[in-house]
Structure 1
């Protein structure tokens, strides 16, 4: 933008300079032309009194003196055909002037001036001089060079002034862009300085108000997360007490485990909301051992798989396998994947879970023996989209965890004809 503003100002200055300097150049040539012709005319007219009164000898001396001191050659043509002064041809202009009329005529070589005057003998004489093209243009080229230099100087000054003005404008724009990038990175304390011009000051003020509003919304989110934790604490505690009060120890232990998972999930959701709200505090990115987390969650779901007569195939890489994901987030991701298997396939449909590692990612693959994803359905990875009557949030949680770690999610068909979900997680640098 800075260069464009400078080019625009220079182009405008060039147009204005051409509009003024071209007429000035034409005027300079006209002035030089008139000056040379007038000077030649005055030089010729200065001899009229000598031609009219002096004898031939005195006239010849006066003409020689005029030619010696003047810029233009003087020739006096007498009525008897003789001529005094510079050698010159008796042109049609001279012959016309012999009839008693003074003339100034443009020729191919310049301008010819003929002054008609009566001599001492009572005959008609003609004082003739000529102005060459070089004399007509004397000083014109220099004037043109000065005008061109003036135009260049004006354009240079305009470019300098435009660059100074554009620099201030561009600096304000870049500062606003920098503040917006800092806000996007989670630095919510970033603020723009209110600077000229007024339009940029208005943008900076609006950006600051937006940043303040974002802080307010995040503060409200933290408050709501805390309120959610407080509201769920009592019903969860009641549910835990009811589970512990069951007469069957095995059933009590199973229900208590489910309550514990529910409580941990709710706590993880609240912690994630608070962590995202305070993302500008510069905390170090969290990581966990994917091998341990995936193994622990698969073990948990294997109990339910046994109850529903599902075959579980496990192929997990040996740990530690650090990934750039918080432990609670990875656990929620695996729970969402396996929960979908139990929720969208019939009892008895087996599934397989594998964990492997390449140079930059850890790959979690879940295959099931269900009906799989419809070939034309791209919705499961979109938040709130589901073709099976569910909330559609499970795979969105998986996608968000993968993307936040620097990975991705792919939906494929398993070798058994069911669904395959491939989750790539970024490996953490320890």
Structure 2
């Protein structure tokens, strides 16, 4: 914006200065020529007066003195008998015309001639007075004046550009602050606000953006509270279910699942109550968590006659994900295998030392290479892969899907390293 404003200002100022300075430069040139010709005319008139009032000898001395005092305009007096006084110059066409009684200013060779006839009583015939003005005299001082005008014009243009740039920066600065505020809001800093200053239009935008940020913060707070309230309402029936399971013999496995469900609900409540407060960077041993969940799902795979391949790098494999989040991620991926492939379909779980988790199966695969949140071609909600993707992205990694070497779907979760190198691994 500043460059466009500067270019526009330079173009406008150039037109204004051109409209002002070009006529002024032409006027200087005309005034210089008029000044030179006026000086020549004055000198010629003075000599014409002397022709009628002094003798020839005195006239010759006066012409020499005039040429000595003002050599830039050499004067010549042509007497009727052919005598030439002053600057020795041949008779020109203008002199011959003046000898017939005409006063004129004519352009000659290398300048202009100012000639005038004088009928002196001491001479038989017409005396012609000629004063010559060279081309250099017609333009004396013009180049210097043009240089001064050019410097003044360049200075005016520079000052205008600097002033325009200052005004532009003053107008752009609040807009940049608004852009910075939008980036802060996009990064989750909903408490950020912008100063209300600048032009009235920008102030209106700042007030609207501040109001929008406050409204978003209120809506998110209400949503968190709603999620927390709903999750909290689940704790009562879960507690009753856990007590019933504990009182029933031979339901240890069910009790374990109920306890996991209750812990998950508790995590939902805690996350909803955070209200955007930053938490310490998470970290865990991915090898330990993936091995644990792979072993858990392997029991169900055995009941369904599913061939299972498990390749887990020797731990610890440190990743920047909380244990609970990684456990949920693995359960989601393996749960999708059991939910969307027929009994007996093989699957494989692999974890490299760099934190890359791969789950692939021998099922029908993905109907589309681009699976979005809330969309699924397999009759599900489509949220499972989104949970795994957000888990990967929270650690600085990402999730990719594609065809499996087993013939079905392949999901690769790249988990980033922990942000803090020192932490406790259980």
TM-score in same-fold range (> 0.5): yes
Structure 1 residue ranges, 4+ long, deviating more than 4 angstroms after superposition: none
Q: Which residue of 2 aligns with 1:293?
A: 289
Q: Judge conservation of contact 1:268–1:329 (CA < 8 Å) in 2.
A: no
Q: Judge conservation of contact 1:265–1:332 (CA < 8 Å) in 2.
A: no
Are residue 365 (structure 1) and residue 353 (structure 2) matched?
no
Q: Which residue of 2 aligns with 1:420?
A: 410
Equivalent-residue separation in structure 2 for 1:289 and 1:273 (angstroms): 25
Equivalent-residue separation in structure 2 for 1:109 and 1:61 (angstroms): 27
Q: Judge conservation of contact 1:188–1:215 (CA < 8 Å) in 2.
A: yes
Structure 1, 3-12 or 330-339: larger mean CA deviation: 3-12
Q: Which residue of 2 aligns with 1:124?
A: 126
Equivalent-residue separation in structure 1 for 2:17 and 2:109 (angstroms): 33
Q: Judge conservation of contact 2:13–2:157 (CA < 8 Å) in 1.
A: yes
Offset, 1:217: 1.8
Offset, 1:122: 5.1
TM-score (structure 2 length as normaliser): 0.91
Equivalent-residue separation in structure 1 for 2:203 and 2:231 (angstroms): 42
Q: Judge conservation of contact 2:79–2:126 (CA < 8 Å) in 1.
A: yes
Q: Judge conservation of contact 1:291–1:355 (CA < 8 Å) in 2.
A: yes
Q: Judge conservation of contact 2:389–2:398 (CA < 8 Å) in 1.
A: yes
Q: Which residue of the other structure, out of 317, 327, 331, is the alignment partner of 1:331?
A: 327
Q: Trace 1:75-90 onto structure 2 (pairs within 5 A).
A: 75-90=76-91
Q: Which residue of 2 aligns with 1:389?
A: 379
Q: Secondary structure at the match of 2:412?
A: strand
Offset, 1:274: 4.1
Structure 1, 318-327 or 419-428: larger mean CA deviation: 318-327
Q: Judge conservation of contact 2:225–2:273 (CA < 8 Å) in 1.
A: no
Q: Which residue of the other structure, out of 176, 193, 214, is the alignment partner of 1:191?
A: 193
Aligned in 2, Cα 1:142/1:235: closer, same or farther, shift over 3 Å? same
Q: Which residue of 2 aligns with 1:101?
A: 102
Q: Judge conservation of contact 2:228–2:268 (CA < 8 Å) in 1.
A: no
Are residue 26 (structure 1) and residue 21 (structure 2) matched?
no
Q: Which residue of 1 aligns with 2:315?
A: 319
Q: Which residue of 2 aligns with 1:65?
A: 65
Offset, 1:344: 0.8
Encode CA deviations 1:87-138: one digit per residue, 9 max, x unaligned: 0110000001111110101234111110112122352221111101111111
Q: Secondary structure at the match of 1:364?
A: strand
Equivalent-residue separation in structure 2 for 1:68 and 1:144 (angstroms): 30
Q: Judge conservation of contact 2:287–2:312 (CA < 8 Å) in 1.
A: yes
Encode CA deviations 1:355-375: one digit per residue, 9 max, x unaligned: 1123xxx0111122322234x
RMSD: 2.1
